[in-house]
Structure 1
Amino acid sequence: MDDLQLSSLVSSRICHDLISPVGAIGNGLDLVRTAGGGEEEMNLIADCAEAAAAALRFLRTAFGARDPAESISVEELAAAAEGHLARRKIRLDWGDARGTMRFRAARPLLLLALVGAGALPRGGLMRLSVAEAEPLAIEWRLSGGPVKLQDRARALLRQRPDPAETAPGDVHFLLLWLAAEGSGARPYFREDGAVGVA
């Protein structure tokens, strides 16, 4: 897979994640035009705009170009992840993570958060543990709801996805593998409800 194919997959994923809140904004505006601007319609538009902005912040941080040695604040990571995942009823506990971390740890942390959120279909709690040593060690422990990681997701964590066969909805698994391998680690899922790289 060349860089153009990978960027196309990432772009498709971003568009997929943004189409619902942006489409809902359009629907809300149509309601305002036809029925008048009631408080309920205005609240719908505001909620959808907030969801789109949260998705953009998260996706820019998780998928955007950054120097792996660059530092990012845990506060910025938390705002991006919590804003995006709150609508899925996912709560995040950042454990001992404070201050800043290098982006080489931040990217897999956010990509793992997407994997973990996918395993909590009814919402729940994800608790973080991170060590920026070599090899990198990051883990989200999942609880508070049934943990159901789909067979396809399990397979994508067990073995690096073939880039030529990666769907846009699964591109975060490929990016997770690339980020983990770049730090001497590999992704995993444990049956006790943990996703991580080590």
Structure 2
Amino acid sequence: MDDRQSIDLAAMLCSRLCHDMLSPVGALSNGLELLAMETDPEMRANVVELLEQSAHVSTSKLKFFRLAFGAAGGFGDRVEVTEPQALIEALVTDNGKISLNWALADATLAKPAVKVLLNFAQIAIDALVRGGTLDIGAERRDGACEIVVRAAGPKIAFDETIGRALDGSLDRSDLTSRTAAAHMIHLLASESGGGLQYHRGDDALVLGAVLPEAEGLIG
């Protein structure tokens, strides 16, 4: 990937982050304005409760994006699975219409695998527009980390350009804030000699990854 493509990808990821943060941060701003004008104790208590909820959502999203998009310098080469697990559970809780099941075989995952896991989860959650079930599994086998995320529900909303970004067939002109995260994890998988795949059915979306691990990251 050349410098121009790197800049475009970084810009699109920033756009996605800003888009997702606009709603909870805007709610904080509106809540503070209401609090400044409101004098009724009961109404002020309601506003404070809404502010607490918005602050919680904002914090959860920032923690998610730090690990899903950023360098996550506070972590080593391997990350405890409890970290991405907590971040995904927070997103699902905020959604309120999704049940979550886990099948994580190892206590830690390499940082690229964590990024793939988190971004797969975000894609799957976005696809469950009417709620449903989210199944997430990951295990190391034969020198590679295998990840599967399955979203099942009454309606699956999935943009095929995201699928093309995952499998590497996306045209450069289709790189947008919507496809940038999928393109980023495709690059991560390719750099390790692995790959991503997806299958969309009428009531389910399955995302899969095989990520070979460097010798120093195995064990």
Give the TM-score normalised by the residue count of structure 1: 0.87
- Over 3 Å counting, the alpha-carbon distance change for 1:178 and 1:66 in structure 2 is farther
Whole-angstrom distance in 2 between the partners of 1:57 and 1:160: 30
- Over 3 Å counting, the alpha-carbon distance change for 1:65 and 1:160 in structure 2 is farther
Tell me the residue number matched to 2:117. 109
Q: Which of the two has greater strand per residue?
A: 2
| Maintained 8 Å contact 1:121/1:146 | yes
Report the number of matched residues: 198
Whole-angstrom distance in 2 between the partners of 1:165 and 1:117: 22
C-alpha displacement of 1:189: 1.8
**Does 1:174 find its partner at 2:183?**
yes
- Over 3 Å counting, the alpha-carbon distance change for 1:154 and 1:10 in structure 2 is closer
- Over 3 Å counting, the alpha-carbon distance change for 1:85 and 1:170 in structure 2 is farther
Whole-angstrom distance in 2 between the partners of 1:102 and 1:77: 12
| Maintained 8 Å contact 2:106/2:140 | no
| Maintained 8 Å contact 2:67/2:115 | yes
Q: 1:184 aligns with which of 159, 180, 193?
A: 193
Q: Cα RMSD (Å) of the superposition?
A: 2.3
Tell me the residue number matched to 1:195. 207
Q: 2:89 aligns with which of 69, 74, 82?
A: 82
C-alpha displacement of 1:82: 1.6
- Over 3 Å counting, the alpha-carbon distance change for 1:131 and 1:23 in structure 2 is same
**Does 1:62 find its partner at 2:68?**
yes
C-alpha displacement of 1:28: 0.7
Whole-angstrom distance in 1 between the partners of 2:11 and 2:151: 31
| Maintained 8 Å contact 1:115/1:195 | no
Whole-angstrom distance in 2 between the partners of 1:102 and 1:46: 33
| Maintained 8 Å contact 1:160/1:174 | no
C-alpha displacement of 1:30: 1.0
Deviates more, 1:35-44 or 1:53-62: 35-44
Whole-angstrom distance in 2 between the partners of 1:92 and 1:160: 30
Identity %: 27
Tell me the residue number matched to 2:51. 45
Q: Secondary structure at the match of 2:133?
A: strand
Whole-angstrom distance in 2 between the partners of 1:4 and 1:155: 20
Q: One-letter code of the match for 1:147? A: I
Deviates more, 1:55-64 or 1:129-138: 129-138
| Maintained 8 Å contact 1:96/1:129 | yes
Q: One-letter code of the match for 2:8? A: Q
C-alpha displacement of 1:163: 4.4
Give the TM-score normalised by the residue count of structure 2: 0.80
C-alpha displacement of 1:132: 3.2
Q: Secondary structure at the match of 2:170?
A: coil
Tell me the residue number matched to 2:136. 128
Query: Unaligned 5+ residue runs, structure 2?
Result: 211-219
**Does 1:138 find its partner at 2:147?**
yes
Whole-angstrom distance in 2 between the partners of 1:141 and 1:165: 25
Tell me the residue number matched to 1:31. 34
